Amino acid sequence: AASPPLLQVRDLHAYYGQSHVLHGINLDIHPGEVVSLIGRNGAGKTTTLKSIMGVLRSRTGQITFDGQDITRLPSNRIAARGMAWVPEERAILSTLSVRENLELPPARPGGWSAARTYEAFPVLRERGHHPGSKLSGGEQQMLAMVRVLRSGPRLLLLDEPSEGLAPVIVQSIGRIIRELQQEGLSVLLVEQNLNFATRLADRHYVFVDGKIVDEVRRDEVESRRDELLKYLSV
Ligand code: ATP
């Protein structure tokens, strides 16, 4: 790719107290690329997203976003530069209605409007008056994604977006990820669902014990599927 990377992670180490969980992660994401992090539970994928977003501050190395060193910035300043994170637990405002969730905070210029939201996920209009806590897992995932898309990010960090969802909902989330990519957004995706990941991602980084041990491009997936399955199996 000729364009400089949108995100560059160099020699990232991360810690929870005394416990050293990431051991020198290096990765790049180019504009418009969808990249997945795959690996078993506990391999360090979520920790990598939290470190990039600045939610986990106990880390060393260098993180560059759009040419700027963001390693020392707090997560709100990183978000303001165009990075957005949808955590595995799908942060939504559970006591507020779906509509209120879609109005707070107001959309930024270039972010998803109400019209775009209801076109992509009509069910969110139908559920407008339901409190966030009463939504299904799939509806919560859609709402959590839209909430961050309202800020018009350039890089979207998604932690297991397909987890626990019905196949038809997984499909509509996959369709939206592809649309976002066509619009030039970059996506960094943590996944346990290899089919979902390989359908969407241009490249995969394989995590084992807090390290990246392999990198697989889309055109290598078919011939290396058994290896990939082995990396994921317990
Ligand atoms: P999962 O899919 O289960 O989230 P993962 O690959 O994302 O797996 P991480 O959640 O990044 O893995 O966890 C990496 C390591 O850090 C694991 O050994 C985990 O037990 C440990 N860990 C994660 N969160 C914490 C925490 N809050 N405090 C202490 N250790 C943690």
pTM for this entry? 0.92
Measured from the Cα of 43, ligand 1's closest atom is 6
CA 219 to ligand 1 centroid distance, Å: 30
Question: Which helix (H) or strand (E) is 181 found in, with range?
Answer: helix 167-182
| C-alpha distances in Å from residue 117, one per residue of 11, 76, 137 | 38, 24, 17
Return the axis-axis angle of helices 137-149 and 167-182, rounded to nearest 10°. 10
Q: Give the model confidence (pLDDT) of 139-172 as tens digits.
A: 888 888 998 899 899 999 999 988 888 898 899 8
CA of 21 to the centre of ligand 1 (A): 8
Contacts of residue 206, defined as CB under 8 A and 6 or more positions apart, other chains included, come to 38, 39, 212, 213, 214, 215, 216, 228, 231
Mutation choice for ligand 1 from 46, 48, 49, 85, CB with most ligand atoms inside 8 A: 46
- Nearest-CA residue for ligand 1 atom 17 is 42
- 112 or 186: whose pLDDT is higher? 186
Virtual torsion, Cα 37, 139, 144, 176, nearest 10 deg: 60
Do 145 and 161 form a contact (C-beta atoms < 8 A)? yes
Position 225: which residue type? Answer: R
Give CA–CA dist 50/18, Å, rounded.
Answer: 17
pLDDT tops 90 at residue 120: no
Q: Is the pLDDT of residue 1 over 60?
A: no
pLDDT, tens only, 4-23: 899 999 999 999 999 999 99
pLDDT surpasses 80 at 105: no
| CA atoms of 207 and 32, how far apart (whole Å) | 22
Atom of ligand 1 nearest to the CA of 192: 2
Q: What is the ipTM of this complex?
A: 0.91
Return the pLDDT at 121: 87
Give the distance from CA 31 to its chain's centroid: 15
Q: State which ligand 1 atom lies nearest to the alpha carbon of 44.
A: 11
Nearest-angstrom CA–CA distance, 35 and 200: 8
Pick from 12, 23, 45, 188 the residue to mutate for probing ligand 1's pocket: most ligand atoms within 8 Å of its CB.
Answer: 45
Ligand 1 contacts (CB < 6 A) are 16, 19, 21, 39, 41-47, 207
Residue of 13, 16, 58, 160 to mutate, ligand 1, most atoms within 8 A of C-beta:
16
Nearest ligand 1 atom to alpha carbon 207 = 6
pLDDT, tens only, 201-214: 999 999 999 999 99
What is the residue with the minimal CA distance to atom 20 of ligand 1? 42
Element (H, E) at 225: helix 225-232
Q: Which residue has the higher pLDDT, 218 or 3?
A: 218
